[in-house]
Amino acid sequence: MRLLIIITLIVISTNGFGQNNGPCGKIYQVTDTIPKLISSGQQIADILARKISISDSLLTKKGRVDVQYVINCNGHNVKFKVLIIHDYDRKPIKNDFNILGDQIIPILQKDIKWAPARQGGKHVDFLQILTVEFREGFIGVNLEGNSFLSRLVMNGN
């Protein structure tokens, strides 16, 4: 009986709806109310297009960068990580665009603001993944089921 109770507690604590270690406590992936972007998805695409410096070798290619971060209970973006895409054998797929994550993260930290998620009537931390796509001179942002596209601005590099 004691073993059954311990196993049940382990299953309940790892159900995927929340993780510990967020700036404001538990990090949720499912909430009563998801975070609401204060600016628009198009504004994010436009900001990234103006501020990212992309090499000529990548400018004509297609690729993407997936950035995972937490929108904390105050609406700030924290705990960033560029995700590495893996194949079915769990081997990392070479992605030349992941080097742009170092440029994307500071932009998301500084320029993008959210109204925080709510769970049980309280503001909570929320895990978010933003996909930034690069398509032959354009940058696209996939957010909340919508795609936003903007032409990359060349900075003379």
The predicted-structure confidence for 75-126, as pLDDT tens digits, reads as follows 988 889 998 876 667 777 777 888 888 899 999 888 888 999 999 999 999 9
Determine the pLDDT at residue 87. 62
Q: For the chain, how long is the longest CA-to-CA vector?
A: 69
Nearest-angstrom CA–CA distance, 126 and 144: 14
Residues of the chain with pLDDT > 70, as a percent, come to 80
CATH architecture designation of domain 17-151: 2-Layer Sandwich (3.30)
Cα distances (angstroms) measured from residue 30 to each of 23, 38, 43, 50, 100: 17, 20, 25, 32, 28
Rounded (10°) angle between helices 101-111 and 41-51: 130
User: What integer best gives the mean pLDDT of the chain?
Assistant: 80
Full-model pTM: 0.76
Parse the chain into domains and list their residue ranges: 17-151
